[in-house]
Amino acid sequence: MLTLSGVSKRYQTSELALSDIDLTIPAGQVIALIGPSGAGKSTLIRCVNRLIEPTDGKVQLDSEDITRVRGARLRQARRQIGMIFQNYALVERLSVMENVLSGRLAYVGFWRSYFRRFPKSDIQQAFHLLRRVGLETMFDKRGDALSGGQKQRVGIARALMQNPKLLLVDEPTASLDPKTSRQIMRLICDLCREQQLAAIINIHDVVLAQQFVDRVVGLRAGRIVFDGSPQDLSPAILTSIYGEEDWEVPADNEDDDERSPPEDRVRTLTVDAHP
């Protein structure tokens, strides 16, 4: 459904941030994009919806090359791609409802959106999504009155309001505590499965990624160095992605109060995720 072929990005005169990325994501597949800071993860997902213009290569969404389109066609491509951010990127002075409805901006005209006269079906969908992410009573709160986890739930609802085919998720849990991180990851992955959404999730926390995704892609210095199932991530492969580190030593005894059967639990690979 999404195919990247030969995608490269060079920021003015510096080295290649991405070089020659080939990646195909079938409908409904959730992949984690892992790699050290500066490997090009954020650049890669922003090249997909063209918040960053790729220097070279093609990005095809359902066989339409979206690196060529402009204006209304570009906006139409973007509305099929939902995006979730590390710092939530809510408009803090707007209410929760307005933030969620802003996911519909590409479907309504300027004046309707300016006067907040969204179609009834949009309002129904917004309430439905707010209930799904557990915030149905908060619709009238202002964005800056919410906690981090709540803001990210609003961000998720906003992305899903677009009725996207694909979600781009940039470090969804990097600003959250461990428990909230797991809840947010579970929510995103459950929603993707319910709605048959494909997703690319940039994430630092390898253990968390392994628990929730179908496929892991490792990026190092702008190149794909691993592409496989989460079970295949061995210490040797982690070293090839992140560099030398003793991956077998359990870092701490994080008490996982969430339900995950112990025998099922993946080896405790601990990654120094937040340098």
Distance, first Cα to last Cα, the chain: 35
Element (H, E) at 240: helix 235-242
Task: Name which of 184 and 207 has its Cβ closer to another protein.
Answer: 184
Which whole-number Å values give the CA distances from 203 to 132, 133, 234, 248, in the listed order?
Answer: 23, 21, 17, 20
The count of residues interacting with another protein (CB under 8 A) is 33
Quick one: which segment of 56-64, 101-109, 173-181, 211-219 binds another protein (CB under 8 A)?
Answer: 101-109
Residue 77 near another protein by CB under 8 A: yes
Sheet containing 215-220: which strands, arranged edge to edge? 81-84, 166-170, 198-202, 30-34, 215-220, 223-228
Task: Name which of 24 and 87 has its Cβ closer to another protein.
Answer: 87
Contacts to another protein from residues 201-260, by CB under 8 A: none
Contacts to another protein from residues 25-64, by CB under 8 A: 49, 51
Residue choice 92, 136, 232, 245 for contact with another protein (CB under 8 A): 92
Q: Is 128 helix (H, G, I), strand (E, B) or coil?
A: helix
Q: Tokens for 196, please give them.
A: 């048959």
Contacts to another protein from residues 104-143, by CB under 8 A: 104-106, 110, 113-114
Task: Name which of 125 and 162 has its Cβ closer to another protein.
Answer: 162
Task: Name which of 82 and 172 has its Cβ closer to another protein.
Answer: 82
Angle made by CA atoms 32, 171, 258, in degrees to the nearest 5 = 75
Q: Using alpha carbons, select from 153, 26, 53 the residue that is nearest to residue 96.
A: 153
Shortest distance (Å) from residue 84 CB to another protein: 9
Cβ burial, residue 213 (10 Å; 0-12/13-18/19+)? buried
Residue 158 near another protein by CB under 8 A: yes
Binding site for another protein (CB under 8 A): 49, 51, 74-83, 85, 87, 89-94, 98, 102-106, 110, 113-114, 155, 158, 162, 168
